[in-house]
Amino acid sequence: MRDLRAELDGWAGTYPDAWRPSAGETLVGVVKNYTTAENQYGEVAVCTVSEEETGKAVAVWLSSAVLLSLYKRHKPKVGERIGLKYGGTHPEKGYKLYALVVDRPEGAAPDFDLLLGDSDAPEEPDPFSDKNDASAFGAALRARAGRT
C-alpha cells in the first residue's frame, strides 16, 4: 500500500525536472505514475520515473510521436522498471529516435491486440470454404476495393 501522506508531504506543487537527454543518454528507473500536463501545443501525457541510481523523480514528457508510440506499444505499468535511450534525430527525416525496454520476464505473454490487427474490421470470406460461392467472394473483393 502506498504511503499517500508521505507522497503528499513530498509534493512541491510542480512536476519533477523533465528528462532532456542528449544523443546517447539513457534513463533507467521505475515508473512511478502517469499524468497529463499542458504545454504550448496542448495536453501531453507525462510519465514520472524514479531514476535508478539517484532515486530522483524525472518527468518524461511523451510529446514526441515516436516516444508516445513506444509507450503505447510496450505499455509500461506503474511499478515496472524501464530503460529509455535517446538516439538523437534521424539524419535524413529529422524525427527523434528513442528506444524503450520494459523489464518483464522473458516469454511474457504478447499483446494479442497488436498481433491480431483491427478487431473491428469486417470478417473476410474464406475463398476456400464450401460455404462461400465464387460470386460472393468476388463481390466482397470488389466492395473492399471500392468497386461495386
The pTM of this model reads 0.68
CB neighbour list of residue 7: distance below 8 Å, 6 or more residues apart: none
Whole-angstrom distance, CA of residue 28 vs CA of residue 82:
6
**Which residue intervals of the chain bear CATH 2.40.50?**
14-107
* Averaged pLDDT for residues 107-123: 57
Give me the pLDDT at residue 59, please.
96
Topology of domain 14-107 in CATH is: OB fold (Dihydrolipoamide Acetyltransferase, E2P) (2.40.50)
| Residue predicted with more confidence, 24 or 39 | 24
| Proportion of the chain above pLDDT 90, given as a percent | 52
- Least confident residue range of 8-12, 56-60, 135-139: 135-139
Whole-angstrom distance, CA of residue 18 vs CA of residue 89:
19
Q: How far is CA 25 from the centre of its chain?
A: 20
